[in-house]
Structure 1
Amino acid sequence: MKSSKFLHGFTVEKIALPDVEINYASAGNGPPILLLHGHPQTHIVWRKVAPLLVNAGYRVIAPDLRGYGDSGKPKSDADHLPYSKRVMAQDQIALMSKLGYEHFSVVGHDRGGRVAHRMALDFPDIVDRLAVLDIAPTDMMYAQTNKEFATRYFWWFFLIQPYDFPERMIASDPEYFLRRHIAGQVKIDGSVSNDAMTEYLRTYNNPDTIHAICEDYRASAGIDLDHDKLDQGRLIEAPLLVIWGAMSVVGDLYDVEATWQEKAKNVTGFALPCGHAIPEEAPDELASKLLTFFSDK
């Protein structure tokens, strides 16, 4: 166990699960909240938000998803099942169980939101409340693909190409790819500090991370859609908070709240004045919305 360099007051440690080691930061006392990051970030994307939740009286756990950051990067298979959102959700259920939590609330940004969506469907008795940030449902986004979406979210179609085409292309200059990716989504200058970018680069420079990220996206375009199809018509039972960036691609192209009303029984939605990286661009506004949502019993 060591002190986090990025999340004030948090400690960082690893916990061994049956097929993967999960790196996570934690702090606080009170009702548990699980924070799930997206691509291409790690758990430090929550560095501005997590301490605010702790100060408000919550126990906060912020892991690196499998394949990302300092968590393990298990081998994949032809169906990309080890990087399906179902398996990634099971990781987090197992992590929280080992920490002693039988039920908890979840906030997921980007890929973490997709993991959280699957978690809420597969474990309705465990997920108390759910918040997803700047995403529309995966199956809908693929089904409604058009030129504008494919252009602005090109990595959805690049990263799913067969091994090892995208891996080789990114490995030729991972820093350039990462910086361009983040710069294209952040609309508020200065939201990602130099030290945070350096930390993202540290883990992104690992070829195993790049491969795992590609597998994450390959799963989303394949086995995750199969799982979604089998659950067609099932609704999220937990109260759902949907937040999107008013300047983000998702906010621009979709009626985000309406897309989630087709997936959940109880949906509340808000736009915040930022781009895609809501936890980094609008942390105070995000924390305020989350705290109101979690306290509304």
Structure 2
Amino acid sequence: MVTKVEAVEGREDILPGFRWHDVTVDGIRIRTAIAGEGRPLLMLHGHPQTHLTWHKVAPRLAQGFSVVLTDLRGYGDSVKLQGGPGHLNYSKRAMAEDQVKVMKALGHERFRLVGHDRGARVAHRLVLDHPDAVEKVALLDIAPTLTMYERTDMEFARRYFWWFFLIQPFPLPERLIAADPDYFLDRHITGQIKVPGSSDPRVMDEYRRCYADPATRHAICEDYRAAATIDLEHDRADLEKRIDVPLLALWGGRGTVGALYDVLETWREKALDVRGHGIDCGHSPQEEAPEDLMKALLQFL
């Protein structure tokens, strides 16, 4: 691997105690925030967030862990790539490989893993492809991608319309979102947040800053296009595989995933050691119910 780690400026007012780097491995640059000492813990955000989504829990986790927060490729301040043939560059396999390489570049061959939303889908693929790298994995507010697509009905399509909008061929969703990206992003987040006042205005401004970049919006569409194509191929090829590290599934009790799926049962179809429960919030427990999330993560990790 050809690796370069460069210090960069970050938002210390939002994530006190963290330091920021651009970690570039084999030409792929991933924005990374690091704090704490102890067992390594990698935390992966979802859409349309960045690593700052963890700001209410990461500083406290850094009191007992060496916490690594990253922006997934295509998101935040990480590299923005074209999708490539078959949306290959945004397959969860490729996105997971980034994260393993970043952790190795930081000296962590084996680590604990937490993912939310898209980051949880990357985490799912990561633990399948790199089982020796992960000690435990926590997945926040998702059921497996293949399960969700195969069980799609009217109610799911109505609630998760962007799963079907963002996968439309280039450039339809990119051009429509470009008309008012702030509105699309704000509406997306406010539609999923069920605990009023949970969103920090400073963090929302950062989400808007990143979403203002057309390359980010294209990358996000490619992420979803990959999920509906090449990721399903990879998932079907691994139907007989079972995750054999401890898996914690947490979900928002007021959200869509918990309402439409038996979340634990969906993961027991994929993993050997599953536990978890709902949290009284919507889609983003790290921002809506940080105390409950902290309690569950600390007990598990």
TM-score range for the pair, normalised by the shorter chain length = over 0.9
Specify the alignment match of 1:20 in structure 2: 28
- 1:269 CA displacement: 1.1
Specify the alignment match of 1:155 in structure 2: 162
Q: After alignment, is 70-79 or 159-168 more displaced? A: 70-79
**Secondary structure of the equivalent of 1:257?**
helix
Specify the alignment match of 1:201 in structure 2: 208
Q: Give the TM-score taking structure 2 as reference length.
A: 0.96
Separation (CA, whole Å) in 2 of partners of 1:4 and 1:168: 30
Q: Does structure 1 residue 69 correspond to structure 2 residue 43?
A: no
Q: Does structure 1 residue 53 correspond to structure 2 residue 46?
A: no
Q: Does structure 1 residue 129 correspond to structure 2 residue 146?
A: no
- What one-letter code is carried by the residue in structure 2 that aligns with 1:125? D
Q: Deviations over 1:92-111 (max 9, x none)?
A: 00000000011001000000
Q: Give the TM-score taking structure 1 as reference length.
A: 0.97
Task: List aligned pairs for 1:109-128, cutoff 5 A.
Answer: 109-128=116-135
- Identity level (%): 55
* Number of equivalences: 293
Specify the alignment match of 1:223 in structure 2: 230
Separation (CA, whole Å) in 2 of partners of 1:232 and 1:206: 37
Q: Does structure 1 residue 246 correspond to structure 2 residue 242?
A: no
Separation (CA, whole Å) in 2 of partners of 1:158 and 1:3: 33
**Secondary structure of the equivalent of 1:232?**
coil
Separation (CA, whole Å) in 1 of partners of 2:227 and 2:21: 28
Separation (CA, whole Å) in 1 of partners of 2:10 and 2:154: 46
Q: Structure 2 unaligned runs (5+)?
A: 1-6
Cα RMSD after superposing both structures: 0.8
Separation (CA, whole Å) in 2 of partners of 1:58 and 1:206: 33
Separation (CA, whole Å) in 1 of partners of 2:208 and 2:31: 17
Task: List aligned pairs for 1:21-40, cutoff 5 A.
Answer: 21-40=29-48
Specify the alignment match of 2:3 in structure 1: none
Contact 1:20 1:74 survives alignment (8 Å): no
Q: Does structure 1 residue 42 correspond to structure 2 residue 50?
A: yes
- What one-letter code is carried by the residue in structure 2 that aligns with 1:127? V
From 90, 97, 106, the equivalent of 2:97 is 90
Contact 1:4 1:25 survives alignment (8 Å): no
Separation (CA, whole Å) in 1 of partners of 2:198 and 2:34: 23
Specify the alignment match of 2:16 in structure 1: 8
- 1:3 CA displacement: 5.0
- 1:19 CA displacement: 3.2
- What one-letter code is carried by the residue in structure 1 that aligns with 2:203? A
Separation (CA, whole Å) in 2 of partners of 1:281 and 1:11: 25
